[in-house]
Amino acid sequence: MKKDIIRLWQFLKNIDDIKWSQQEDKGYEVVNKHWEYCGINEKPNYNIESYYLSLWLTYIYDYRQRTELLWPDTEDESSGKGLAIMMYITYLYIDQKLEIENIKQKVYNRQLDRLCICSQLCIPARTNWKYPLQSLWRTLKILNNFNRNIVELMKYVYNIDETEPIRNVAYALYLITYDFKKDENEVMSILYDKELFKKEKLKWKKSKNYYHKRVWAGVRDFFKGSYSKEFLSKLNWNKLYLEQLELPGDIHNIYFIENIGLDSLLEDILDDIPDDYRAMLRKFYEENRDALRQMNLYVEQFDVTYDYDREMCKKARCKICPLYVGQKHKINLNNIIKKIYHKENLEKIIEITPIRLCNGWNG
């Protein structure tokens, strides 16, 4: 059974590799169009510091929102409003060096509870919904201590614990944006004290907040996205660190895992079964790390099942699906393994699927 899981994992890895290697950044074109529509004469600044901060701020709002409202979509000209607004906030914050109160005056419509850069380009501010607006201002306020530079923050924490550089980054981002139990002074005390940082990070890893979807989605994009080469060049990087990335988790991941019966298979293999399917995958990885490492497999690669479920299963593209075994929406893991590995060329199977068209903006 372990061998079957690993074979399926290899299949998903190949799709994941293709997805990220063919990723195209459509953000600049979309954001520029929205800015021009609102009469903004400046061009979006797409250096890594501005881009990464805009990306992170957009993820703050990526909670029960329509994907196309926030992220650019090549098939929807009205998409990407969220990213356009966050790029503008970043422009005011980094390039114009405005104080946060002045930024609020320019972009926050209190009466309508909306973030806007013109009357026709707004997104809900959602003041009372999981604190996204408070998280946004909190993040900018704390980043003042790092020259308003999110990349500087990530570089700083990256080596605090040399055994877990990616988890250092993930915890620091969670700390500055989502941990409202700690005020700014407490956050800075933790960030500036290496031993305290390690201690608090360990508590976080054991808490229910560890598998925070938007934290791990953002961190994934920072380390695997279109700007990652430039980012990694600033770090003491080893590709093995990717094993620290967690699966962000989405309903489409759950659908896929349940459809193929992977959850049941993991339950049969694992002792002391975690409640969360992401923790189940992590536990399986840790128990088989040496074998999985040799094949460059890591947990986050399962996130490509988000695209697979949306682009294949939900659109009933069964006839071109390499995992399809003859009955709609019924997939048997044993049959999947036989079907995949009796094909002469796995790459050809992958190439005919629409997964190669995914551009990484699906949140």
- Please count the residues of the chain: 363
Domain end (from 110, 136, 162): 136
How would residue 44 be classed by pLDDT, with cut points 50, 70 and 90? confident
- The tally of domains found in the chain comes to 3
Average pLDDT over every residue of 165-181? 97
Backbone angles phi, psi at 62, to 5 degrees: -85, 65
Q: How far apart are CA 21 and CA 8, in angstroms?
A: 20
Contacts of 290 (CB under 8 A, 6+ apart): none
pLDDT for the residue numbered 352: 43
- Using an 8 Å Cβ cutoff, are 284 and 270 in contact? yes
Write the pLDDT tens digit of every residue in 246-280.
999 888 888 888 877 788 888 888 888 888 889 99
Nearest of 358, 206, 335 to residue 282 by alpha carbon? 206
**Does a structural domain hold residue 85?**
yes
**Does a structural domain hold residue 237?**
no
111 and 160 together in one domain: no
67 and 130 together in one domain: yes
252 and 340 together in one domain: yes
280 and 314 together in one domain: yes
Contacts of 239 (CB under 8 A, 6+ apart): 296
**Does a structural domain hold residue 144?**
no
Judged on CB neighbours under 10 Å (0-12, 13-18, 19+), 203 is: exposed
Listed in sequence order, the DSSP H helices in 159-288 are 165-177, 184-192, 194-205, 213-224, 228-232, 251-259, 262-269, 277-287
DSSP 287: H
Q: How far apart are CA 70 and CA 340, in angstroms?
A: 36
Q: Which residues pair with 330 in a beta bridge?
A: 327
Q: Which of 121 and 265 is assigned the larger pLDDT? A: 121
32 and 11 together in one domain: no
The domain of 115 spans: 27-136
251 and 350 together in one domain: yes
pLDDT value at 117 more than 70: yes
98 and 196 together in one domain: no
Contacts of 299 (CB under 8 A, 6+ apart): 243, 245, 246, 247, 278, 281, 282, 285
155 and 257 together in one domain: no
How would residue 3 be classed by pLDDT, with cut points 50, 70 and 90? confident
24-33, 53-62, 307-316: the lowest-pLDDT one: 307-316
pLDDT value at 355 more than 50: no
Residue 257 structure tokens: 């895992």
Domain end (from 162, 197, 224): 224
**Does a structural domain hold residue 327?**
yes
Listed in sequence order, the DSSP H helices in the chain are 2-21, 27-37, 48-60, 67-70, 81-90, 100-107, 132-143, 150-158, 165-177, 184-192, 194-205, 213-224, 228-232, 251-259, 262-269, 277-287, 289-294, 304-308, 333-341, 346-351
pTM over 0.75: yes
pLDDT for the residue numbered 288: 94
Average pLDDT over every residue of 223-251? 92
Q: What integer best gives the mean pLDDT of the chain?
A: 85
180 and 270 together in one domain: no
258 and 316 together in one domain: yes
Q: What's at 127, amino acid-wise?
A: T
Judged on CB neighbours under 10 Å (0-12, 13-18, 19+), 296 is: middle
Q: Which residues pair with 123 in a beta bridge?
A: 115
Residue 53 structure tokens: 């901060």
Q: How far apart are CA 144 and CA 209, in angstroms?
A: 25
